[in-house]
């Protein structure tokens, strides 16, 4: 790799319509040089359509795509010099690993010596130099994914676009390749734009995540920011799991107080007096031992529970707050759960975050 710095990408109000159907609606997004951005959302949310508009394979119905401030909306895909890794890798089965990686260089008519040097260096980068003479069918799924990455990087692309590159792998291998992809991003310093519907993958890999729903950008931010301070019910429910508590809210010095039945819940965030909604992550709720106190405390009975090795997953029915899902690390649980058992649950004020209802 040449060591060339990453490039900045700007999407300015891009939309894509197919007749009356709006696949993407006025999406604006800034991706800084050398950053790893993930487009995250359920199937049909518009994330792949945005990636295809960035790549140049789909023309926006409105808006502009800029690279380092230069409008490339009308530039054809072959002139954008973007690397791309597809979900199925799209390797040539009759070519060796080295020939697959060399293919973009042959298209660009690089000389043989330079071509071979670049292929060697890129295969070394993805730790596949020993497999240069093998064919794709002789490789594991993870190795094939690395070949696809090498082929996308070998010509020194301005951006690397990733269309669900890990989705074909099993869970264990996917976790291993996430670590490798993150390390590869650090080494090459390029701007990566990734598409996935896997929340854990997005949280693990990304500098920023852009969450989409029904063609609209819902929230953009760093992984921890989105997880800890989701803006809407959809974001809180899609990025991880969440309990939702509805009630009448009033402001106080520390945030908000939400009343539901005879229970008061202390929370944080912006909410006007009146009907409000709090998001409460299951792992932030503790099963309290006898005599313990917390800023929020509610009593209930265990309706169901599961032992998952590292944690217990517990469903607790309460009188005023309804059913609460609780995740407790196995080594920290103060009792052995049983159906019908009375328990006290507690959580700090900062764990209950005000979120907006999703637009109708």
Q: For the segment 77-103, what is each residue's pLDDT rounded down to a tens digit?
A: 999 989 999 887 788 999 999 999 999
47 touches 11 (CB < 8 A):
no
Q: For the segment 244-260, what is each residue's pLDDT rounded down to a tens digit?
A: 999 999 877 778 999 99
pTM for the structure as a whole: 0.90
Residue 360 has pLDDT above 80, yes or no: no
Percentage of the chain with pLDDT > 70?
Answer: 98
Which run of H or of E encompasses 172?
Answer: helix 171-188
11 touches 29 (CB < 8 A):
yes
pLDDT at 2: 47
317 touches 300 (CB < 8 A):
yes
97 touches 147 (CB < 8 A):
yes
> What integer is the mean pLDDT of 44-65?
96
Residue 308 has pLDDT above 80, yes or no: yes
pLDDT at 121: 92
DSSP string, 132-156: TT--GGGS-HHHHHHHHHHHHHTT-
236 touches 65 (CB < 8 A):
no
Q: Which two tokens stand for residue 3?
A: 């060591």
Q: How confident is residue 5, by pLDDT bands cut at 50, 70 and 90?
A: low
**Strand 286-287's sheet: what is its strand order?**
286-287, 342-347, 296-307, 311-318, 322-329
Give the β-pairing of 255-260 and 243-252.
Answer: antiparallel
Residue 271 has pLDDT above 80, yes or no: no
Q: How far is Cα 187 from Cα 229, in angstroms, rounded to an integer?
A: 31
162 touches 195 (CB < 8 A):
yes
Where is pLDDT greater, at 320 or 1?
320
């Amino acid at each position: 790799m040449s060591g060339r710095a990453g490039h900045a990408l700007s999407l300015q109000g891009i939309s894509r319509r197919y007749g009356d159907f709006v696949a993407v609606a006025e999406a604006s997004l800034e991706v800084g040089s050398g950053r790893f951005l993930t487009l995250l959302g359920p199937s049909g949310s518009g994330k792949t359509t945005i990636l295809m508009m960035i790549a140049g394979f789909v023309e926006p119905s409105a808006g502009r795509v800029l690279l380092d401030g230069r409008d490339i909306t009308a530039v054809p895909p072959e002139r954008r010099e973007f690397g791309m890794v597809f979900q199925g890798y799209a390797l040539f089965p009759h070519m060796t690993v080295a020939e697959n990686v060399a293919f973009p260089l042959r298209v660009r008519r690089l000389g043989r010596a330079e071509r071979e040097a670049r292929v060697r260096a890129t295969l070394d980068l993805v730790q596949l130099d020993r497999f240069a003479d093998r064919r794709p069918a002789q490789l594991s799924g993870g190795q094939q994914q690395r070949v696809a990455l090498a082929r996308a990087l070998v010509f020194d692309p301005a951006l690397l676009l990733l269309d669900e590159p890990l989705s074909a792998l099993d869970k264990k291998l996917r976790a291993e390749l996430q670590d490798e992809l993150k390390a590869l991003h650090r080494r090459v310093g390029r701007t990566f734009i990734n598409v996935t519907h896997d929340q854990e993958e997005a949280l693990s890999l990304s500098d920023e995540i852009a969450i989409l729903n029904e063609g609209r950008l819902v929230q953009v931010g760093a992984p921890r920011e989105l997880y800890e301070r989701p803006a809407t019910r959809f974001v809180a429910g899609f990025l991880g799991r969440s309990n939702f508590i509805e009630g009448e809210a009033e402001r106080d010095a520390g945030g908000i107080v939400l009343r539901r039945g005879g229970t008061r819940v202390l929370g944080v965030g912006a909410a006007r007096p009146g009907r409000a909604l709090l998001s409460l992550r299951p792992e932030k709720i503790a099963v309290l031992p006898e005599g313990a106190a917390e800023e929020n405390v509610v009593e209930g009975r265990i309706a169901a529970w599961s032992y998952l090795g590292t944690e217990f997953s517990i469903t607790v029915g309460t009188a005023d707050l309804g059913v609460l899902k609780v995740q407790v690390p196995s080594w920290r649980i103060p009792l052995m759960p049983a159906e019908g058992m009375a328990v006290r649950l507690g959580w700090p004020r900062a764990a209950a975050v005000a979120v907006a209802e999703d637009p109708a």
